[in-house]
Amino acid sequence: MEDQRTCLGEAPLPVSTLSEPLVSGKGADLATAEDLEAAQLPPYRDTAGASFSRTCLNLTNAVSGIGVLSMPYAVAQGGWLSLALFALVGALCYYTGTLIGRCMHADPAAVASYPDMRARLRVCRPECRRRLHGDNLDKLFPGARVELLGGYNLQGKQLFIALAAAVVLPTTWLKNLGVLAYVSAVGLVASAVLTASLVWAGVAETGFHRNSTSVFNLSGLPTSLGLCFVCFTGHAVFPTIYSSMKNNKHFSRVLLISSVLCSVNYGLTAVLGYMIYGDGVQSQITLNLLSGKLYTKVAILTTIINPLAKYALLAVPITAAIEEKFSLPAGSGPARVSISTVVVVSTAVVASTVPFFGYLMSFIGSFLSVMATVIFPCLCFLKIYKAEGIRRIEIAAITGILMIGVFVAVTGTYTSVRQIIGTF
C-alpha cells in the first residue's frame, strides 16, 4: 500500500505498530485488535457502527441517482438491445464494488486516504445534481424571478439551483451515517414514486407502444454505454459506507441487495419511458412530461427530493479529503461546516453555468465515472493483492473489465465531447 501511495505522489504511511501494545503494564493485554482498528478509523465513522439495514439504505441511496432520468434516453440512443449492455454494466460495477471492499479489508490503515484519492474523481457529480434541480423546478414554476440588491435578477434555472443549494446545505453538516440513513430512506421512496408517476403518465397520455423505437443503433452505442455507467457511480462513497458498518464483513451482501434494487428501478424507468415517448425521449425523462399535469408535478417533485436526499452522503468523501489535504481538524464542527459550504456553493455556481445536460452526463459516465467505477478499483486491487497472489481466472476477468472500461472511456468521451462542441 505504501508503494501505491508513493506512486500517487503522496507521503508513505508510517510503519505499522500493530504488534506493539498501546499501553504498558497490567493493562497491556486489554488492548485488542478491535481497539487498534478503531484507533485508525476516519473521523466520519460512527463509533457504534451502522446496522445492516441502515447500511442498505445508505448504499442503495448512493447507487440510485440521477442516472435514472437518463435511462430512457440511453435506450433511445442504443436501441432495445442496449438493455443487455445495461445488465452487463450493472454486473461489472457490482464486481468492482466488491473489489473495493476487499481492498479496504486488506489494509484498514488506508481507510482515511482512499476516499481522498477517490474524491478527486467525484467533484463533477454534485454539479449535475444542482443542474438537475434547476431544469426541473423551472419547468414546475416557469417565470419565477427574484430581484437582488444592485438590480441583479435571479430567475429561471439559476434561481432554483440557488434554492436547491440552500436546502441541501444543512444536510452536508451531518457526519453520522446512521442518521443519514433516514435521509436515504426518503430518497428511495422518491425513486419509487418517480417510476410510478411514469406509469401514470403512460396511461394518461399516449399509452405504451413501440411505434417509433429501434432495436439497435450502433452510432448511439457509446452515448448509451456512458449513460449506463452513470447509473452505477456510487463507488467513491463505498469506502465511507464500508467504514461506517457495524460489521463490514456483510458489505458484499449489502452491495448485492442495493445493486439489484437499483437495477430493477433503472430498468423499469428505461422501458416505460422509451415505450411512452420512443425516439423522441429527451435527456431527462421529466422534460417530456406535459406541463400542468398532476403526474408531472409529482414526478418533478420526487426528482428534486432524490438528489437532495443523497447529496450529503456523496459529499462526505470530498469534505474528508479536503480536511486531510489542508491538515484541518478532522471532524470538527467549524471545519466541516466551512468546507461543506464551499463545496455546495462551488457546485451550484458551476451547475448554473453549464448547459447541454445530456451530453455532460454522457461525458461524466464515459470518463470520470468509468475511471472511478471500473478502472481505479481494478488497478487498486491488483496493486494490493499481487504480492499474495491472485487466481488466474480473476486476473483474466479483471483484465477483461479493464479493457471494457478503457473502450467505453475512449469512445464515449470522444463522442460526448464532439456533441458538446457541436452545441456551440
Could you report the per-residue pLDDT of 160-177, keeping only the tens digit for each? 677 777 878 887 777 667
Torsion over CA: 325, 331, 335, 341 (sign) = positive
- CATH 2.60.120.260 holds for 50-422: no
Stated length of the chain: 424
| pLDDT given for residue 156 in this prediction | 58
Predicted local confidence at residue 364, as pLDDT: 64
The whole-angstrom separation of Cα 89 and Cα 366 is 12
What SS3 string covers 223-292? Answer: HHHHHHHHCCCCHHHHHHHHHHECCHHHHHHHHHHHHHHHHHHHHHHHHHHHHHHHHHCCCCHHHHCCCC
* Exposure string over 49-63, b if 16+ CB within 10 A, otherwise e: bbeeebbbbbbbbbb
pLDDT of residue 103 exceeding 60, the answer is: yes
Q: Do the beta carbons of residue 405 and residue 235 sit within 8 Å? A: no
| pLDDT range class, residue 7, cuts 50, 70, 90 | very low
Spatial distance between the Cα atoms of 126 and 351, rounded to a whole number of angstroms: 8
Contacts of 342 (CB under 8 A, 6+ apart): none
pLDDT digits 0-9 by tens, 166-211: 878 887 777 667 777 887 888 888 888 988 998 898 888 777 776 6
The whole-number average pLDDT for the span 305-313 is 77
User: For the CA atoms of the chain, what is the radius of gyration?
Assistant: 22
Which band of pLDDT confidence, cut at 50, 70 and 90, is reported for residue 118? very low
Contact 101, 248 (CB under 8 A): yes
Give the pLDDT confidence score for residue 411 in this predicted structure. 80
323 pLDDT exceeds 90?
Answer: no
pTM above 0.85, yes or no: no
**pLDDT tens digits for 387-414?**
788 899 999 999 999 998 888 888 877 8
Per the prediction, the chain carries an average pLDDT of 75
- Whether the Cβ atoms of residue 189 and residue 166 lie closer than 8 Å to each other: no
What is residue 49's DSSP assignment?
Answer: -
Structure confidence at residue 30 (pLDDT): 37
Per-residue pLDDT tens digits for 347-359? 777 766 766 555 6
Give the model's pLDDT for residue 423.
Answer: 65
Q: Which residues of 93-107 are buried (b: 16+ CB within 10 A; e: fewer)?
A: bbbbbbbbbebbeeb
Higher pLDDT, 118 or 96: 96
Residue 318 has pLDDT above 50, yes or no: yes
Any idea where the domains of the chain sit in the sequence? Answer: 50-422
CA 45, 241, 170: angle at the middle one, nearest 5?
Answer: 70
Residue at grid coordinates 430518497: 187
